[in-house]
Amino acid sequence: MLKKIAAVLIGSVMVGVGVNGFLVPNHLIDGGMIGIGLIIKYIWGFETGLTIICLSIPLYIFAFLHFRQYFYNSLHGLLLSSFFIDILSPMRHSFLYPSLLSAIIGGFFVGSGIGIMLRFDTSTGGTDLLAQFISKILSLNVGVIIFLIDGVVIIIGSKTIGLNSTMYSAITILFVGIATSLLTIKKEVT
């Protein structure tokens, strides 16, 4: 239990650092609910973490009613990662790296945070939770579903952030995926 709590705390801080230290200063987005929260932040100025929580409420109601295990395994990840995204927002003015470097490092931080949580059977919820529902219902690979959702978020966000930032945001998603995958590879027993 202590390892799971530590994983959620460390993972949430890493997500908050990645978003605020690298993505927001360069007007980049991630996929999924974090990306949607960033798009809304760029358009209307709402706090990203609070937006993520508000947009996730319908998914969590559905999870509570139909997939209770998913609900319990991701609620604390959603709340803590959203909290750290908002509490670490002063970092947005601390770093200013070139967009390519920010996309890579930001993607690495966000992906590592998510990967650490997934390694301990928790997550940040959001569209990952939606992908788990779809995967269970349609017997599709959850990774493919997450990739498709992320692609849709980037396409939608391109109207807000422009073509240049969209290309760098695609790099962000690539590094989120790489970091998450590396941290969630199951150790083979020999």
Q: What is the pTM of this model?
A: 0.92
The residue extents of the domains of the chain are: 2-89+99-182
- 105-139 pLDDT, tens digit per residue, is 999 999 999 999 988 888 888 888 888 888 888 88
Judged on CB neighbours under 10 Å (0-12, 13-18, 19+), 87 is middle
Residues ≥6 apart with Cβ < 8 Å to 101 = none
Concatenating the DSSP letter of every residue in 95-131 gives: ----HHHHHHHHHHHHHHHHHHHHHTT----HHHHHH
**Digit-coded pLDDT (tens) for 53-75:** 999 999 999 999 988 988 998 99
